[in-house]
A and B are shown apart, each in its own frame.
Chain A
Amino acid sequence: MRRIVVTEFMSLDGVFEDPGGAEGFKYGGWTMAFNNEEFMKFKTEELMAADDMLLGRITYEDFAKAWPERSGDPFSDKFNSMPKYVVSKTIKKVTWNNSHIIKGGSAAKEIARLKETDGGDIIVHGSGQLVNFLLELALIDELRVLLYPVVLGTGKRLFAKNYSKLKLIEASPFKTGVVALRYKQVK
């Protein structure tokens, strides 16, 4: 059984919106000043352990705009070449390399089927609605949160309405004050 690994950026007050600065949020790009070589190592290891990406529509569309232009480094090359599954009720066309649509209505079944195939981790970035769906169905094998030393006071929050106990696997601080947290979902 393959693992579903959810990986997120979060402020101390639980905001996950626009960490990279491409979405026009008031504090967009609030993570950038803290991303050092420890961050790159964490994200690279995570990506290399994964064989598929699973995304919600909004994150998929943001990535599909930003990533195809990047290339020439192992991280970007893998991001662009690996299979991506976008879960959506409405999306009709996908333009990003190696993308596949999972229709909203059959998401649970399709994701379960994907987990049964052989391969590395199935990695989920951003994708607020999809993550809430996975959390509710207890489908998350590992939840990774990079906790940034900042309180934003405003912005979209992850985990709206869900309640779940977790088990801590690791908590490691980076020199920049970011804390890398890894949890299992307690079912």
Chain B
Amino acid sequence: MLTSLDGFFEGPNHDISWHNVDQEFNEFAVEQTSLVDTMLFGRRTYQLFEGFWPDAHKLPDITKEDLAVAQIINHAKKIVFSKTLQSVSEKENWKNIQLEKEVEAGFITELKKQPGKDIAVFGSSNLGVSLLEKGLLDEVRILLNPIVIGKGTPLFHGLKNKVDFKLTKSRNFASGNVLLYYHPQFKT
């Protein structure tokens, strides 16, 4: 999740125009995305991705990093969790999609047992909260932007009880962004 210093991942009206990443991060993103072969989405993030990635290669100013990411996302197994979406459809450069109505612990656990690379959740705040509360989230990566936005939706908005985390890694970028890796700590 990309967040402001004051802990918001989006401004009012889902505004993410303030999100900032640099070239160094883009190169890092290609590396990271290549470690993943499955992506889980909530409806809103899925629709954002669907609206951009399949045709991204046609953009005149597309970077080579974005081209690489587009390829990976296209081929990855994409699972969308939504009670309201009726269907998801494949199109050119956008294949391998599945729609699920509920976030079921059994389904997710089975998915995790399959051989393969890591499973990524991009954006998708409500889905993230659901996975966190069910103890199914293994790692949270926060890209902290050097900005205070004052209003918006906080990280893990809707979480019923506080969650402690363990910081496992951190990395600073030239843009002033700080990438922080955390493992949720669950009381057993």
Interface residues of A (CB under 8 A from B): 10-15, 27, 30, 135, 145, 147, 149-153, 157-168, 171, 173, 177-179, 181, 183
**Contacting residues, chain B, for A171 (C-beta < 8 A):** 170, 172, 178
- How many angstroms from the CA of A10 to the CA of B5 in the assembled complex? 9
Does B151 lie within 8 Å of A161, measured CB to CB? yes
Within 130-174 of B, Cβ neighbours of A (below 8 Å) are at 142, 144, 146-151, 154-167, 170, 172
- How many angstroms from the CA of A38 to the CA of B38 in the assembled complex? 39
**Contacting residues, chain B, for A179 (C-beta < 8 A):** 167, 170, 178, 180
**Contacting residues, chain B, for A151 (C-beta < 8 A):** 155-156, 159, 162-163, 165
Nearest-neighbor residue (CB-CB) of B163 within chain A: A151
Does A162 lie within 8 Å of B150, measured CB to CB? yes
CB distance from A172 to the nearest CB of B (A): 8
Task: Count contacts between A and B, CB distance < 8 Å.
Answer: 108
Nearest-neighbor residue (CB-CB) of B4 within chain A: A14
Of A14, A159, A166, A181, the most chain B CB neighbours within 10 A belong to: A14
**Contacting residues, chain A, for B178 (C-beta < 8 A):** 168, 171, 179, 181
- How many angstroms from the CA of A172 to the CA of B166 in the assembled complex? 15
**Contacting residues, chain A, for B164 (C-beta < 8 A):** 149-150
State which of A14, A160, A166, A177 has its C-beta within 8 Å of the C-beta of B7. Answer: A14
14 additional A-B residue pairs with CB within 8 Å, beyond A12-B3, A145-B5: A10-B7, A12-B142, A14-B7, A135-B148, A151-B162, A153-B156, A157-B6, A159-B6, A161-B150, A164-B148, A167-B146, A168-B146, A177-B167, A179-B178
Does B176 lie within 8 Å of A166, measured CB to CB? yes
- How many angstroms from the CA of A131 to the CA of B46 in the assembled complex? 38
Does B7 lie within 8 Å of A13, measured CB to CB? yes
Within 4-62 of B, Cβ neighbours of A (below 8 Å) are at 4-8
What are 18 residue pairs bridging A and B, where the CB atoms are less than 8 Å apart in the complex?
A10-B6, A10-B7, A13-B157, A13-B159, A14-B5, A135-B148, A149-B166, A150-B162, A151-B162, A152-B162, A153-B159, A159-B6, A159-B148, A161-B150, A167-B146, A167-B176, A171-B170, A178-B167
- How many angstroms from the CA of A151 to the CA of B154 in the assembled complex? 10
- In this complex, the interface size class of chain B, counting residues with CB under 8 Å from chain A, is 35 or more
Does B6 lie within 8 Å of A173, measured CB to CB? no
Nearest 9 A-B pairs (CB), nearest first?
A14-B7, A177-B167, A168-B176, A153-B159, A149-B165, A166-B146, A14-B6, A13-B7, A13-B154
- B94 interface residue, CB < 8 Å from A? no
Does A12 lie within 8 Å of B7, measured CB to CB? yes
**Contacting residues, chain B, for A178 (C-beta < 8 A):** 167
Nearest-neighbor residue (CB-CB) of A153 within chain B: B159
- How many angstroms from the CA of A161 to the CA of B156 in the assembled complex? 20
- B122 interface residue, CB < 8 Å from A? no
**Contacting residues, chain B, for A30 (C-beta < 8 A):** 162
Does A12 lie within 8 Å of B165, measured CB to CB? yes
Does B146 lie within 8 Å of A177, measured CB to CB? no
Does B5 lie within 8 Å of A166, measured CB to CB? yes
**Contacting residues, chain A, for B5 (C-beta < 8 A):** 10, 14, 145, 159, 166, 181, 183
Known: A151-B155, A179-B170. A165 touches B162 (CB 8 A): no
Known: A13-B156, A152-B162. A158 touches B172 (CB 8 A): no
- How many angstroms from the CA of A162 to the CA of B67 in the assembled complex? 36
**Contacting residues, chain A, for B161 (C-beta < 8 A):** 153
